[in-house]
Structure 1
Amino acid sequence: MAPLIFFFMGVFYLLPSCSGKALCEDVGHMKTFRKIKEEIAGYQDVAKAIIDLAVCGKAQNRSYERLALLVDTVGPRLSGSKNLEKAIQIMYQNLINDGLENVHLEPVKVPRWERGQESAMMLEPRNHSMAILGLGSSIGTPPEGITAEVLVVSSFDELHRRASEARGKIVVYNQPYKGYGETAQYRVQGAVEAAKVGAVASLIRSVASFSIYSPHTGIQFYQDGVPQIPTACITVEDAEMMARMASRGTKIVIQLKMEAKNYPDTDSFNTVAEITGSKYPEQVVLVSGHLDSWDVGQGALDDGSGAFVSWEALSLIKDLGLRPKRTLRLVMWTAEEQGGVGSLQYYQLHKVNISNFSLVMESDLGNFMPTGLAFTGSDKARAIIKEVMNLLQPINITQVFEDGDGTDINYWIKAGVPGASLLDDLKQYFSFHHSHGDTMTALDPMQMNYSAAVWAVVSYVIADLDEMLPRQ
């Protein structure tokens, strides 16, 4: 068969030689997509109404003000803490008061770790009190602390090359920041790798894109068969200072004291609310963020803002009297910071209905001015998402990026469900993330308004389309 010239949407396409069946499938797909594109274009007025309500209407700054009230009242919300459980109960009542449907709590067993008092004092070559934050699930030191000489390394490779020097020492990692995903492995695995070569403790340069002497905490994991040693993050400034000292051959001695303790798992909840679908109530577009946080700052940015922007998306849709064909389900996850504990248990409970999930969405990368949507899914689904994002041209947020994964939605994405994450300035985000600086001061109410507008438009339109997002 000779190549064919095909005219579609104002463009000429050269179709390669192929079987008649394949050609029919190509043409059929183009016709189907043209129909979907026209369907999505019909949502322009709805999208504008959502944007206007979120950005300059009566809902302006609502998500910011709601969040400020919670975090100013409750504070940080560590897994297993009274603060987190108080926040969950407050949110349960808030969602009922907001008029959302099927508001309920789903039980989850979560880890419980307490930081206690902690300190790190440099004794040689001079006295210097260092700012530290113990890492989640770390054990504590003996009451008298651990006093030992320091070995400074810049990578796991250097640690392994110098393994013979590490026994009995405190390993200090001064790894360069190369983006969060690559650099966080030192925080997560640093204690295990140091223990394998006989170190008595590890101190990790904070995983941060910018620092003003600010330590950043986070989760770390021990490994079966490897001794457990205390581990904490130190500031970028102290890590670099010790690297300079070590390069001169200066002996460094630190006394580390940590009262950290791990307790048996305790009870918590995922918090759920819905707008029930009008035509396909069993089918779901899931909108989410996590309610727990670390025990420093206020947990405002990570991830109070993501949870509250997700709540705001449903509020905006409800306020406009809209009811999509599919159910919009808000989930505020618990114990995300401990490795997606709440979302894993949710997935295990609900995966029997996986074929009914059209899209899973998670906001957990900050809520500065959004740049677009990160998406993972089939090419056909991506084409649909791009058309939906075009509805956001009035606020110039239309880009679709790769890798729409997130800790709490990855279980679904790996099983083939399309996933999306809200994307903004990650360098700015990781300046505050997991630190004392994660407070309402880091957030801007107008930027949260724009995030809510994006989140509401995307979730509503996908939930209201005639068909679910294609997985192939």
Structure 2
Amino acid sequence: MTKFPLAVIGLLAFSAPVLAQRVPPPQVPVDPHVVALRDAALKDDVAYDIVEGLTTEVGPRLAGTEAEARARAWAVAKLTALGFKNVRIEPARMQTWVRGDEAAEVMSPFPQKLRVAALGNSGATPASGITAPIVYFASFNDLVAAPDGSLKGKIAFVSNAMAATQDGSTYGTFGAARFVGPAIASRKGALAILIKSIGSDHSRAPHTGVTSFPAGAQAIPAAALSVADAENLERMVKRGQPINLHLTLTPHQVGETDTGNVIAEVPGTDPAAGIVVIGGHLDSWDLGTGAIDDGAGVAITTAAAKRLLDGPAPRRTIRVVWFGDEETGGAGSKAYFAAHKGDHHVLAAESDFGADHVWRLATNFAPDNAAIADRLAAALAPLGIVRSRDKGGDGADIAPLVGAGVAAVDLNQDGTRYFDYHHTPEDVLDRIDPAQLAQNVAAWTTMLAVVANASEDIAPVAAADGKAR
């Protein structure tokens, strides 16, 4: 496979939006051992081997299902073969939802079939489906403004205009239509809801994802239309005629089932120095094969840890966690925190934004550890990674640790094309560029080499309640 030289990789990150946020790298020396590890990792093929094997031999891994259980067994075998220590599964339980039949079709005035995917936790139609008129909302805010009861007997159709961004920030802006839109439509009396997929593409691949219905809310059928089909339906609306749509969704809740975390370690030489936790999530949605979300994340972090495993033992133990059930509720991260909140964690970091190049570093070290952040920024700069003024700590699976005051590092990946494929049937291995994947491994290897071997104690930071712990 073709690898990018360092000079080319350095250019990847410097688009105009980045330059406006760039913090010049500190003028501090970089340990030659760190440089050697970083540069060697640009030729890494372990990460690609992991994500290729996981997507080929297991495939989709919906949380709580037999497929996720097979993935845990696969992970244990893989991590053991790679030489990691203390490899084990730590089980957890979760409430599990599974997909059924799904179809949507305009009955009048312009009959045609549409491509649709049920949202996680969606309610079900009868097996024969439902037929009802749609009510169009150009935005989520328009749905919110509709009077309670105004959608009785109707199907809500909520549009949006999500655009691609390097940092993925539009996902939070437009994602509300999926996160809470169905519950709001239910409160307003809707029979069902369709949303334009929360995605930056214009394809016929619908984007699934979880939604939630609070206690007391009726779970109505809820689905995402592919962006192309939603745009077609919008054009129909503009013709000014009533639109009747037939919708069939037959998902169901199966009750409590098993999930769990797969854990492996690179033992450190100084137990008192604490534990560095890294990883991603093992589960995926069931439409694609979970390559970018998040086979790439577990592959990147594991490959980086493997590079330290194969060299001199680091000062701090590196704990690699392949979390279960990130997509539908976070049972894995909650179980990890409950089981390990008494462990001496000093840093947490997560990879869960695809496989395109890392372009930005964010940290939240305590002021006394500013020198570690400076050394890290200097070591990452030759990879084209700029330093953010924002604080680190993103990631659903490490959120409980960060909330408890554990320091964090974010290695932000370029998200420009991530939401073209996110949660769709197009989340497959072909979407991964091996050269950019290797640049990720180099960035994570660099981070681990600096942080796991830092001679300073890594201090707690301000927790969610404002107290340092």
Using structure 2 for the length normalisation, give the TM-score: 0.87
For the structure 1 residues 100 and 116, does the alpha-carbon distance in structure 2 shift closer, same or farther, using more than 3 Å as the test? same
Instruction: Choose from 125, 132, 148 the match for 2:109.
Output: 125
For the structure 1 residues 77 and 64, does the alpha-carbon distance in structure 2 shift closer, same or farther, using more than 3 Å as the test? same
Q: In the alignment, what sits opposite 1:375?
A: 363
Q: Distance in 2 between matches of 1:377 and 1:171?
A: 46
Identity of aligned residues (%): 33
Instruction: Choose from 92, 109, 115 the match for 1:108.
Output: 92
Contact 1:219 1:337 in 2 (8 A): yes
Q: Structure 1 residue 386 and structure 2 residue 374: aligned?
A: yes
Could you give the per-residue CA deviations for residues 381-418 of structure 1, whole angstroms, max 9, x where no partner exists? 45532321211233332434525311111111122212
Contact 1:372 1:401 in 2 (8 A): no
Q: SS at 1:157's partner residue?
A: helix
Q: SS at 1:110's partner residue?
A: strand
Instruction: Choose from 50, 53, 56 the match for 2:37.
Output: 50
Q: Distance in 2 between matches of 1:444 and 1:359?
A: 29
Instruction: Choose from 267, 284, 287 the match for 1:296.
Output: 287
Q: Structure 1 residue 350 and structure 2 residue 350: aligned?
A: no
Q: In the alignment, what sits opposite 1:314?
A: 305
Q: In the alignment, what sits opposite 2:349?
A: 361
Contact 2:119 2:210 in 1 (8 A): yes
Deviation at 1:256, TM superposition (A): 0.6
For the structure 1 residues 378 and 172, does the alpha-carbon distance in structure 2 shift closer, same or farther, using more than 3 Å as the test? farther
Q: SS at 2:186's partner residue?
A: helix
Q: Distance in 1 between matches of 2:175 and 2:332?
A: 21
Q: Distance in 2 between matches of 1:62 and 1:101?
A: 17
Q: In the alignment, what sits opposite 1:12?
A: none
Q: Distance in 2 between matches of 1:138 and 1:180?
A: 20
Q: In the alignment, what sits opposite 1:339?
A: 329
Q: In the alignment, what sits opposite 2:14?
A: none
For the structure 1 residues 324 and 412, does the alpha-carbon distance in structure 2 shift closer, same or farther, using more than 3 Å as the test? same
Q: Distance in 2 between matches of 1:379 and 1:213?
A: 49
Could you give the per-residue CA deviations for residues 344-401 of structure 1, whole angstroms, max 9, x where no partner exists? 1111221123xx2111000001110110223344455455323212112333324345
Q: Distance in 2 between matches of 1:146 and 1:382?
A: 60
Instruction: Choose from 433, 440, 443 the match for 1:444.
Output: 433
When you count helix as a share of all residues, which structure comes out higher? 1
Q: In the alignment, what sits opposite 2:6?
A: none
Could you give the per-residue CA deviations for residues 161-187 of structure 1, whole angstroms, max 9, x where no partner exists? 433642110001102216001111110
Instruction: Choose from 235, 242, 260 the match for 1:244.
Output: 235
Could you give the per-residue CA deviations for residues 96-122 of structure 1, whole angstroms, max 9, x where no partner exists? 111111111111112322112110111
Q: In the alignment, what sits opposite 1:211?
A: 202
* Paired AA for residue 386 in structure 1: D
Deviation at 1:144, TM superposition (A): 1.4
Contact 1:365 1:422 in 2 (8 A): no
Instruction: Choose from 161, 180, 190 the match for 1:189.
Output: 180
Contact 1:174 1:204 in 2 (8 A): yes
* Paired AA for residue 156 in structure 2: V
Q: Distance in 1 between matches of 2:293 and 2:202?
A: 17
Q: Which runs of 5+ in 1 are unaligned?
A: 1-36
For the structure 1 residues 325 and 207, does the alpha-carbon distance in structure 2 shift closer, same or farther, using more than 3 Å as the test? same
Q: Structure 1 residue 155 and structure 2 residue 139: aligned?
A: yes
Contact 1:284 1:329 in 2 (8 A): yes
Q: Distance in 1 between matches of 2:326 and 2:457?
A: 28
Q: In the alignment, what sits opposite 1:258?
A: 249
Contact 2:372 2:454 in 1 (8 A): no
Q: In the alignment, what sits opposite 1:323?
A: 313
Output aligned runs, 1:162-201, within 5 Å.
Answer: 162-163=146-147, 165-177=150-162, 179-201=170-192
Contact 1:156 1:193 in 2 (8 A): no
For the structure 1 residues 435 and 66, does the alpha-carbon distance in structure 2 shift closer, same or farther, using more than 3 Å as the test? same
Instruction: Choose from 54, 61, 66 the match for 1:82.
Output: 66
Using structure 1 for the length normalisation, give the TM-score: 0.86
Contact 1:381 1:471 in 2 (8 A): no
* Paired AA for residue 116 in structure 2: I
* Paired AA for residue 348 in structure 2: V
Contact 2:191 2:220 in 1 (8 A): yes
Output aligned runs, 1:389-404, within 5 Å.
Answer: 389-400=377-388, 402-404=390-392
Of structures 1 and 2, the one with the larger relative CO (CA 8 A, separation 6+) is 2
Q: Distance in 1 between matches of 2:94 and 2:330?
A: 10
Could you give the per-residue CA deviations for residues 81-106 of structure 1, whole angstroms, max 9, x where no partner exists? 22211111011011111111111111
For the structure 1 residues 377 and 238, does the alpha-carbon distance in structure 2 shift closer, same or farther, using more than 3 Å as the test? farther
Q: Distance in 1 between matches of 2:384 and 2:63?
A: 37
Contact 2:104 2:113 in 1 (8 A): yes
Q: In the alignment, what sits opposite 1:142?
A: 126
Q: Distance in 2 between matches of 1:181 and 1:195?
A: 22
For the structure 1 residues 182 and 69, does the alpha-carbon distance in structure 2 shift closer, same or farther, using more than 3 Å as the test? same
Deviation at 1:250, TM superposition (A): 1.6
Q: In the alignment, what sits opposite 1:3?
A: none
Q: In the alignment, what sits opposite 2:277?
A: 286
Larger deviation: 373-382 or 96-105?
Answer: 373-382
* Paired AA for residue 201 in structure 1: A
Contact 1:136 1:220 in 2 (8 A): yes
Q: What is the count of residue pairs matched by the alignment? A: 428
Deviation at 1:466, TM superposition (A): 1.7
Deviation at 1:228, TM superposition (A): 1.5
Q: In the alignment, what sits opposite 1:25?
A: none
For the structure 1 residues 281 and 76, does the alpha-carbon distance in structure 2 shift closer, same or farther, using more than 3 Å as the test? farther
RMSD of aligned alpha carbons: 1.9
Q: Distance in 2 between matches of 1:237 and 1:382?
A: 48
Contact 1:288 1:332 in 2 (8 A): yes
Q: Distance in 1 between matches of 2:293 and 2:362?
A: 18
Could you give the per-residue CA deviations for residues 143-175 of structure 1, whole angstroms, max 9, x where no partner exists? 111110000102343224433642110001102
Q: In the alignment, what sits opposite 1:225?
A: 216
Q: Distance in 2 between matches of 1:97 and 1:271?
A: 14
Larger deviation: 77-86 or 157-166?
Answer: 157-166
